[in-house]
Amino acid sequence: MQIPIASACAIVALSVACASPTTPTTTASSPTTTGSATVTSVPTLFQKFQSTVTATLDGNQIVLRSNGLPDHASPYWPSANALYEAPSGGMMLAPNTIATQNLTLRVPASPAVATASDTPLGPIGLAVNGVAIFNQYAAGRSPLAAEILTFDRFNGHPQQSGQYHYHVEPLWLTGKNGTSSLIGVLLDGFPVYGPRESDGSFPSGLDSCNGHTHATADVASGTYHYHVTATTPYISGCFKGAAGSVG
Ligand SMILES: [Zn+2]
Ligand SMILES: [Zn+2]
């Protein structure tokens, strides 16, 4: 699946320089996402990220950069912002306002299943629209119950520093792109998909990390991937592979 594009392409922003070149060509020896393979260009998966996200290859890692701002309406925007909207009925508005972030996530370019590990508080991944993905806990690893009341109608909210994030299904993305669409990537490099498979069925056999392995629309050779679920852990219960880093 990997495409040996000119190396110059790999070190510049995907959205700028790597968007146009040609249909991917597959060779018998092309690396896959199963682990130790050498990756020579940004995997095609990252072309699904919106233009506000840059994805570059740095050694064996993909570096994702984003300003963290949602591309949709929310009552958490400053009221002067064009995307500001009034809170929806029943929502409990928290006293935080969306602010520009300087998000950098480094994820394995060739993710591999390893010993599963707990996800931390703070960003555990990045959604295709550049918004941070958080885990299923509030501070102190307490349940999200109270925080859920503060979610806007797309299931996001900002924390104290204005970092907007999703703990559960980003309804803006699944509404716009479909319920089986790519939601984003976690720090271990594995993709997250919506609550359904591409044939419309619900995923079966999800493990405690909320994932399983089969071919996906983005990785024809098959990959471990997470699915968004309606119940905890919502996005991921643990990292299935070795996690990269934030910052
Ligand atoms: Zn939160
Ligand atoms: Zn699946």
Better pLDDT: 36 or 144: 144
Q: Say yes or no to pLDDT of 122 above 70.
A: yes
Q: Which residues pair with 185 in a beta bridge?
A: 126, 191
pLDDT-derived band at 2 (thresholds 50, 70, 90) equals very low
Rounded to the nearest whole angstrom, what is the distance from the C-alpha of residue 138 to the centroid of ligand 1?
A: 6
Give me the helices (H) in the chain, please: 7-10, 14-17, 145-148, 171-177
Which-ligand-closest: CA of 192? 2
Ligand nearest to the CA of 207: 2
Three-class SS of residue 176?
Answer: helix
The Å distance, Cα 212 to ligand 2 centre, comes to: 6
- 28 Cα to the center of ligand 1, angstroms: 44
Kindly give the distance from the C-alpha atom of residue 156 to the centroid of ligand 1, in angstroms, as a whole number.
Answer: 8
Give 134 Cα–ligand 1 centroid separation in angstroms. 7
pLDDT for 146 = 86
Distance 183 CA to ligand 2 centre (A): 12
* pLDDT (tens digit per residue) in 50-69: 999 999 999 999 999 999 99
Cα(207) to centroid(ligand 2), Å: 11
Ligand nearest to the CA of residue 136, numbered in listed order? 1
**Statement: residue 168 has pLDDT above 80:** yes
Strand partners, 212: 225
Q: 70 is written with which tokens? A: 């949602």
Measure 167 CA to ligand 1 centroid, in angstroms. 6
- Which DSSP letter does residue 239 get? E
The CA distance from 179 to 214, in Å, is 17
Sign (positive or negative) of CA dihedral 83, 87, 89, 92: positive
What are the structure tokens assigned to 6, written together? 């000119």
Q: Which residue from 98, 68, 93, 67 is spatially nearest to 82, judged by alpha carbons?
A: 98
Side-chain-side CA neighbours of 113 within 13 Å: the count stands at: 11
Q: Do 136 and 208 meet the contact criterion of CB atoms below 8 Å apart?
A: no
Centre of ligand 1 from the C-alpha of residue 208, in Å: 21
Tens digits of per-residue pLDDT, 199-212? 999 999 999 999 99
Confidence of residue 35 (pLDDT cuts 50, 70, 90): low
- pLDDT exceeds 70 at position 14: no
Which ligand sits nearest to residue 133's alpha carbon?
1
The token duo for 201 is 């069925």
